[in-house]
Structure 1
Amino acid sequence: MIKTKTLFTKLFLSYSMIIFLSFTLFGLVFIYIFHLNLYDDYEELYDFHYERLQEQIAQSAEEGWSDEETADLIQPSLHHRNYNIFIYDNTGELFIQPEGDAEYEPDQEIILTASDEFVSEGATMNGNLSYIIADSFSVPGNEETYVAVMVFHDLNHQYQQMALMVLIPFIITIAFSGGIIYFISQKITAPLRHMNEAALQLATGDFSRRVTVSSRDEIGQLGDTFNYMAEELNSLEKMRKEFIANVSHDLRSPLTSMKGFIVALLDGTIPENKRDHYYLLMKEETERVIQLVNDTLDMSRLEAGQIEIAPAPYNLTRQLQRIAVLLEPQLERKGVGIQLEPEDTDLFVVADKDRIEQALVNLLHNALQFSLNGETIRIQLETTGDMLAVHVQDEGKGIPEAQLKHIWERFYKGEKSRTGKGGTGIGLSIVKSIMELHKTEITVKSKLGQGTVFTFQLPLKK
C-alpha cells in the first residue's frame, strides 16, 4: 500500500496529477480544435463541389443533354474514398447518385430540409460516424431546383488517427515525466528524511548528529538552522551538566560542613567556648544554600515569564549604602574595599526596588569573587539627562574578549578560567533578565589585567 502521508508521496502524486490534468486539458482542447478544423475542411470541400456541380448541370442544360448524359458527366466526381455526393431534384427524387454507394444515402427528411435552408449535421450511418452537408441550388435558364447532399463517412478513421496522435505522446510524456518527478521528489525529500533521522537522535539525547547541507535553497537554510540548533542544544546540555555538577557541589559542601559541625557538637568535640563560632559558620552555610536555591528558582521563574516588576520611585543611593553594609563581612574576609561615588548625594530612580537590589547584589558578588586582597570595588552613579547610569567596577584579572559574549548565558562558567573557583553560572543571567524586565540594557567592558565594569541605566524620578 502506498503511504500517502509521506512528503515524497505527496510531492510525487501532486506533480503527476498536475502533469496528467495539464495534458488531459491539452488533449481536450486539441480534440475540439481538430473537430472544428475537420468540419471547416469538409464545408470548404462541399463548397468546391457545390460550385462545380452547378457549372456542370448548367452546361448540360445549355447543351440539351439527356439525364443519362448528364449523369455520365457528373458521376465520376460523386464518389470518393471518404465521401459521396447525392443529387436530388425538386420533388425529392434521387437525380444522380454515386455508383454502388446507396448504403450512405441520406434520410428524406434531410433532403426536404435542405430544400429551404443549409444543413450541416453529424449522424451515424451503418454504425459509422458521418457528417452530412446539404443545400439547394438552381441552374440559370432552368426552372428546376436541385439539392446536393454530401456525406462524409470516414469519421471513425479520422478520430482514431487523431486519438493516436494524442494518446501516444501522452503515454510517452507521462512515463518520462514520472521518472523526472520521482528523481526530483527524492532529491527534495532526502535532506528532510536525514533531518528527521537526526532529530530523532537529538530527541534521545545524542547531540553529536549533524546533517549534510548540499544546497543553498530553503532546505539548505533549514539544514544550517538544524545544525545550529544541534550546536546550541549540545552547548546547553554541556552547561546543564556543569550546572548540575556545580549545584551538587555547592549543596554538598555546606551540607557536609554542617553535618560535621552538628556531629562535633553532639559528641562534645567542640568546646563550649567555641560553639558560638561554629553556630555562626553553620548559619553562613545555611544562607549560602538558601541563596543558591533562590537563584535557581528565580532563574526558572524569569525564563517562564512568571515575574512581574512594580516600578516605583526610591532612593538608589541609600539602597547601595545598605547593600555595602550587608556585604561588609564578606569584604573584610577577602580584604576587598568598596567605594560609592558620589556617596552623600541622594539619587532617586523609578524601578522595582527588590529586583534592582537582587541585580546589584549579584553584580557585587561577581565583582567580589574576582577581586584580590587589597583591591577595591567601585560603584559610580552618573546622571545623563533624565537617566542615571550605574557602573560596577572591579580590579580583577578581567574577562577574555572571546568570553564576553557568553557571560550572560545560563550556566556559563567562563569565570573558572579567571579564578579557578566554581559557581552556578546563573547570577549574571538573572541580572540580564531583570534588566530586560526594566526595558534597559546592561553592558560589560573588560581589559585583561585591569578589571571589568558593568553598566546599566535607570530612569530618574521626575
Structure 2
Amino acid sequence: MKISQLYLKILFAFIMVLLVAILGIWGLLELGHIRPPFTLHAQNRSEALKQITVAKIGMAPRLTVELKQQLSDMLNIFASSFNGEAWIINKQGETVAKSFNYSIPLTGNENMELKLSSPQGNHIYLIEKGNQRSIYSTGTLHTASDTLTIHILNPWRTHNEEVWFMEGLILMASVAALLLIPVSRHITRPINELTKSAELLSRGDFSPRVKESSKDEMGTLAKTFNQMAHSLEKMVRGGRELTANLSHELRSPLARIRVSQQIIQERLESGRTDGVNKHVLKMEEEINHMDSLIDKIMKLSKLDLQEPPPRDDIVSMSDMLNEAVERITPLIGKSGILVKRVVETVPSYCCRKQDIRIVLDNILSNAVKYSPNEDVVHIECNADDDAITIRVVNSYDRLSPAELETIFTPFKRLGYNDIEGNGLGLAFARKIIEDHGGSIQASSIDRGFCLTVRLPLG
C-alpha cells in the first residue's frame, strides 16, 4: 500500500502537536503550576492515614501495648494497598507502630528532594538512588497523650507512572496513526479525482466533472472546479463556433471581391473602363462590411476575455429608450412601422451608457427590420423594487424553444438573409446585459415575438 504524502503530513502534524503538549505539561510541572500525580497520591495517603490513626487512638491517655499492636496491624493493611511501608514515631523518636517486621528502611543519609509542603504539616519528598525512586511523606499528628509523626514510603522502583504515561502516549499515537489512514483516504479521494479531472482538462478534454458530495471546503473546491470547467468548455466551444462562423461569413464577401477584381482585370486588359468604378465601389462596400464584422467580433471577444469595465454612468432608462426610438426614425419611416410606447418613469440606473445604447439600438432595430411593413411595434418600460424591465414586442412567426435560444448565438439569423445584418446583435446584447448582472430572454406570444430585458437595481 502506497503511503500518501497527505497521510504523512497529517501524522507528522499530530506527532508535533503531541510533543508540544508533552513539553507544555512538563514545563507546567517544572514551574509548579500543576501538581504531578505522585505528590497528589502521597498527600492523600498521608491525610487518610492521619485520620485513621486519630480514629483509632481516640482520647486514649496513653499508647498501650495492645493499642500499638492494633496500630501496627492497621498500618500493615494500609501499606499493603499500595505495596509501601508505613510507621509511626513519637516525639522521643521511638517507633510506636510499623507495617513491617524489619528495621526502618531509611537511614537518614538518603538524597531527598522536597516536592511539597502542605499547610496541614505534610511534607513530601522524592528519593532517588540509582534507577530506584521512592516517594516519602511525613505528617505530624497531635493526640491526647503524645505528638506523633506518620511516615509513609512508597517505592517507585520501575518508574511506573512514567512508564504508564509513555505507554499511553505510544498507544494513543499508534491508534491515531491507524485511524488517520481512512481519514487521509477520505480526504485524498476527492483530491485525486480533482487531479485526474484537471489533467484531462489540461489535455483539452472538458467533459470530466468531480462529485460535489460534501458541503465543506472540498465541496466548495469541487463546485468551483466544475464551474471553471464548464466556463472553459463553453468558451472553447464558443471560440471554435465563432471561428467557423467567421470563416463562413468572410468567405462570401471575399468571393464577391474576387469576382469584382476579375471583372475589373478583364476590362482593363481589354482596354475598357466602363463599369470599373461600380465594381470598385462594390469592393469598397464589401471591405467595409468585413471591417465592421471583424470590429464586432473583436468587441465580442473582449467582452468574453476581459473583466468588464466599471459602471460609472447614471442614466434615465426612459430617456435612453426615447432617444433610441428617435435614432431609428428613418428605418421606421421607410417601413411604415408604428411604434407604441408605454414608458414609465423609472429609477436612475448605474451602467455603462454606451453599452446599454448598443443593446437598445440592436433590439429596437431588429424589431422594426423583422416586422411586416406598416405593422406595430410595442415598447414597454417599467420598474419594481428589484429591477427595470424593458419589453419589445413585434409581429413574427412562432419560434420553438430551441430557436428562441439560438437567436442569441453569433451569426445565427433563422433565415431572412435578404435583411441586412450578420447575426451578432443579440449575442452582443446578451453579453452586455449579463455583464450588468441582468438577463435578456426571448419568447413567442400569441401574435408575435417578445424580447424582455431585466436590469437589476442596486
* TM-score for both structures, normalised by structure 2: 0.68
Which residue of 42, 49, 60 corresponds with 1:45?
A: 49
Match in the other structure for 2:267 = 268
What is the count of residue pairs matched by the alignment? Answer: 418
**CA shift in 2, pair 1:195/1:236, >3 Å:** same
Residues 281-325 of structure 1 deviation map (CA, whole Å, 9 limit, x = unaligned)? 223312311221221233245554248658586744431213457
Which residue of 113, 121, 124 corresponds with 2:124?
A: 121
The answer (yes or no) to whether the contact 2:87–2:96 under 8 Å persists in 1 is no
Mapped to 1, the partners of 2:84 and 2:166 lie a distance apart of 24
**CA shift in 2, pair 1:165/1:207, >3 Å:** same
Is there any run of 5+ residues in structure 1 with no aligned partner, and where?
A: 329-336
Counterpart mapping for 1:22-33 below 5 A = 32=36
Query: In terms of mean alpha carbon deviation, does 238-247 or 289-298 score higher?
Result: 289-298
Mapped to 1, the partners of 2:389 and 2:144 lie a distance apart of 115
Shift of 1:184: 1.3
Mapped to 2, the partners of 1:96 and 1:388 lie a distance apart of 103
The answer (yes or no) to whether the contact 1:356–1:434 under 8 Å persists in 2 is yes
Mapped to 1, the partners of 2:230 and 2:315 lie a distance apart of 38
Which residue of 101, 104, 116 corresponds with 2:106?
A: 104
Match in the other structure for 1:215 = 213
**Structure 2 counterpart of 1:124, which letter?**
I
**CA shift in 2, pair 1:416/1:41, >3 Å:** farther
**CA shift in 2, pair 1:223/1:261, >3 Å:** same
Counterpart mapping for 1:112-191 below 5 A = 118-124=121-127, 126=129, 128-135=133-140, 137=142, 140=145, 145-156=146-157, 160=160, 162-191=161-190
Q: What SS does the aligned partner of 2:208 have? A: coil
Share of identical aligned residues, percent?
19
**CA shift in 2, pair 1:291/1:207, >3 Å:** same
The answer (yes or no) to whether the contact 1:391–1:455 under 8 Å persists in 2 is yes
Mapped to 1, the partners of 2:232 and 2:438 lie a distance apart of 28
Q: What SS does the aligned partner of 2:275 have? A: helix
**Structure 1 counterpart of 2:48, which letter?**
E
**CA shift in 2, pair 1:34/1:429, >3 Å:** farther
Counterpart mapping for 1:319-330 below 5 A = 319-324=327-332
The answer (yes or no) to whether the contact 1:12–1:181 under 8 Å persists in 2 is yes
Residues 63-106 of structure 1 deviation map (CA, whole Å, 9 limit, x = unaligned)? xx8xxx9988977777766214252444x577888654344145
The answer (yes or no) to whether the contact 1:317–1:348 under 8 Å persists in 2 is no
Residues 23-63 of structure 1 deviation map (CA, whole Å, 9 limit, x = unaligned)? 99999999845642443123312443466578888253xxx
The answer (yes or no) to whether the contact 1:128–1:155 under 8 Å persists in 2 is yes
Mapped to 1, the partners of 2:126 and 2:389 lie a distance apart of 99
Mapped to 1, the partners of 2:401 and 2:258 lie a distance apart of 42
Larger radius of gyration, structure 1 or 2? Answer: 1
Is there any run of 5+ residues in structure 2 with no aligned partner, and where?
A: none
Q: What SS does the aligned partner of 2:213 have? A: coil
The answer (yes or no) to whether the contact 1:56–1:74 under 8 Å persists in 2 is no
Mapped to 1, the partners of 2:389 and 2:177 lie a distance apart of 70
Mapped to 1, the partners of 2:70 and 2:452 lie a distance apart of 117
* TM-score for both structures, normalised by structure 1: 0.67
Shift of 1:195: 0.8
**CA shift in 2, pair 1:364/1:257, >3 Å:** farther
The answer (yes or no) to whether the contact 1:444–1:453 under 8 Å persists in 2 is yes
The answer (yes or no) to whether the contact 1:138–1:146 under 8 Å persists in 2 is yes
Q: What SS does the aligned partner of 2:337 have? A: strand
Match in the other structure for 1:379 = 377
Query: In terms of mean alpha carbon deviation, does 170-179 or 382-391 score higher?
Result: 382-391
**CA shift in 2, pair 1:99/1:417, >3 Å:** farther
Match in the other structure for 1:453 = 450
Counterpart mapping for 1:215-364 below 5 A = 215-218=213-216, 219-220=218-219, 222-223=221-222, 226-268=225-267, 272-302=273-303, 304-306=307-309, 311=315, 315-324=323-332, 337=335, 339-341=337-339, 358-363=358-363
CA RMSD of the aligned region, Å? 5.3
Mapped to 1, the partners of 2:10 and 2:415 lie a distance apart of 53
The answer (yes or no) to whether the contact 1:316–1:346 under 8 Å persists in 2 is no
The answer (yes or no) to whether the contact 1:299–1:430 under 8 Å persists in 2 is yes
**Structure 1 counterpart of 2:451, which letter?**
F
**Structure 2 counterpart of 1:135, which letter?**
T
Mapped to 2, the partners of 1:77 and 1:315 lie a distance apart of 111
Mapped to 1, the partners of 2:383 and 2:47 lie a distance apart of 95
